[in-house]
Structure formats: structure tokens, C-alpha cells
Amino acid sequence: GIGATAGVTVNLNLTGAQNTGGAGSDTLVSIENLTGTNFTDTLIGDDADNLLSGQGGDDILNGDEGNDRLHGEAGDDRLYGEIGDDFLNGGDGNDHLHGGHGNDTLDGGGGNDYLEGREGNDTLNGGTGDDMLLGYDGDDALNGGAGNDTLEGGTGKDILVGGGGLLAFDRFDFNRPEGRLGLNRDVITDFEGRGPLAGDQIDLSSIDANYSVEGNQTFIFLGNAPVDLEFTGVGQLRFNIVTKILAGNVKGDAFPEIEIQVIGAPELVVSGFPALQGITDVLL
């Protein structure tokens, strides 16, 4: 990529001649690592453990198979780990990182980034900026870093860390109640509720609070208490201020179907009204 006057498209799966940015075309044999240009490049790996570096420009990097390392560097890049245990680093810019199959590590770097772990037990670090982190399948660890971030663990037992700073607040989205009990519950490790001021928020609005009624029903909050308040009907939430567990019921029995441990929250304030989102902890 050094000295190139335009972006390049290189696919290590191809055996024919390719435009690699010099004068004419080249045939690549036994190549595992690719470095792009300061323009817009497309770099695609193969079944080996590839190192792909985009450098400048808005690049597309695809690791294909193998345990790959993808570095977007400068620009608004799109990185795809695909199959294998991959490491993706967006670098500067507003990047999109997709882990794919395997236990991947995604680091957004600078900018407002979008990170998807997908299949496997993934580690997602937003870095600086206002980032969106989606774990999807597996037992994932999500850390928003600095900025106002949104974290959604997906299925599995996930660890959610908002990060942030004095003027930053994060949103933790949940959309699947099943399997979130006991040792499988999700854990928010640094929840910062600020009473009447804007702080971190838990969003449960995508979860249907009553499976027996058509449509997406809203939860009813029973309150904060040092013991587990008894469920008296379907679609109820309670928060135990000792165990720090927010529990919800969607089937109308005496037991919860969803549990979220919210470390750092003395109490929770609840609202289902968008106009009050800035001063509430839990959105219904």
C-alpha cells in the first residue's frame, strides 16, 4: 500500500492477478498479511491467520476464516472477523465491527462506533465516543468506555460495564427474558443512577411483560425493598436493594423469568413515559 495513488481491492482467496496499487497487476502466493493505502480499500483474508491493516480511508476488512487481526486505523471502517477467534480494532473514526463466529475481541477505538459480537463468547470495548455494543449469542463482556453508550448483551450470561465519566450516562437494553436467572443472569457492574438528574438507564421496553396477551405489554414496578417483594400478578418488576437484583415476571406465577443484577444502584426510579426518560433509571 505504500506509494499507492488509489485504493486497492485484494482477496487472498483468489489465485489470479489482482490490482494491488502499483503499476499493473500482481499475483499473490503464500501471502498472509495485507496493508491498505490512505484511500478506500477492500482487504479480504483467507483460511490462514491474517493480519489486515486498512491505514487511511474508509476501508472494508474481512478476515474470512482463521484467527485474524484486523486494524481499521484512520477513517470510518467496516471490519468483519467472520469465522475464528478474531481481534478487531476500529482505530479512529466511526467504525462498524462485526465479530462473526468464534470468541472475538472487538475494540472500537476513537469515534462513535457500532460493535456486534454475534456467535461465541465475545469481548466488546467501545473506547471513546458514543458507542453501540451488541453481544448477541454467548456469554459476552461489554464495556462502553468513555461517552454515552448503549449496551445490549443478547442471549447468555453477560457482563455489562457502562464506563463513561462525570457527564456521561449509558443505556442498557434488554429484549429477551428467557434464561436470565440465577447464575445465568446479566450483571451491570457500574450502574450510576443520579436521582433527579440524568444518569444510566435500563431499557426493558422491548420485553413483552405479559405473554398471555397479544402485543407488547408494559411492566408494573412494585418498588424497592430489602427483601423480594411477592409477585401478585403478571408483568411485575421488583428491585431488591440488598442483592441489587431487578426481577420481572411475565407468566403470572410466583417466580421471576428475568433477573438483572444492578451493582451500584441504591434504588431504581421507573417510568414508561418518553418525556421523563432523562430523570428515570428504568424505562418500561
pLDDT tens for the chain, 284 residues: list them.
556 788 999 999 998 777 666 545 555 656 889 999 999 999 999 999 999 999 999 999 999 999 999 999 999 999 999 999 999 999 999 999 999 999 999 999 999 999 999 999 999 999 999 999 999 999 999 999 999 999 999 988 999 999 875 566 888 998 876 667 888 899 999 988 655 456 788 998 888 888 888 888 889 999 999 999 999 999 999 999 999 999 999 988 888 999 999 998 888 888 654 444 555 667 76
Of 3, 65, 80, 78, whose CA–CA distance to 35 is shortest?
Answer: 3
For residue 276, the model assigns a pLDDT of: 47
Model confidence pLDDT, tens digit, residues 136-182: 999 999 999 999 999 999 988 999 999 875 566 888 998 876 667 88
For residue 246, the model assigns a pLDDT of: 94
The CA–CA distances, whole Å, from 160 to 29, 185, 199, 234, 244 equal: 43, 11, 16, 27, 14
Distance CA 26, CA 6 (A): 15
For residue 23, the model assigns a pLDDT of: 46
Residue 212 cell numbers, joined? 398471555
Is residue 224 within 8 Å of 239, Cβ to Cβ?
A: yes
Mean per-residue pLDDT over the chain, rounded: 88
For residue 270, the model assigns a pLDDT of: 81
Residue 70 cell numbers, joined? 484486523
Which amino acid is present at 21?
A: G
List of residues 6+ apart from 275 with CB closer than 8 A = none
Distance CA 53, CA 193 (A): 40
For residue 227, the model assigns a pLDDT of: 94
Is residue 107 within 8 Å of 88, Cβ to Cβ?
A: yes
For residue 265, the model assigns a pLDDT of: 84
Of 74, 107, 101, 102, whose CA–CA distance to 88 is shortest?
Answer: 107
The CA–CA distances, whole Å, from 103 to 33, 135, 166, 214 equal: 21, 11, 32, 37
Distance CA 259, CA 106 (A): 27
Encode burial over 57-81: b for 16+ CB neighbours within 10 A, e otherwise.
bbbbbbbbbbbbbbbbbbbbbbbbb
Of 221, 220, 225, 216, whose CA–CA distance to 244 is shortest?
Answer: 225
Distance CA 129, CA 33 (A): 29
Report phi then psi at 54, rounded to 5: -80, -30
For residue 160, the model assigns a pLDDT of: 95
Is residue 194 within 8 Å of 237, Cβ to Cβ?
A: no
Owner of C-alpha cell 442498557: 172
Of 133, 98, 132, whose CA–CA distance to 118 is shortest?
Answer: 98
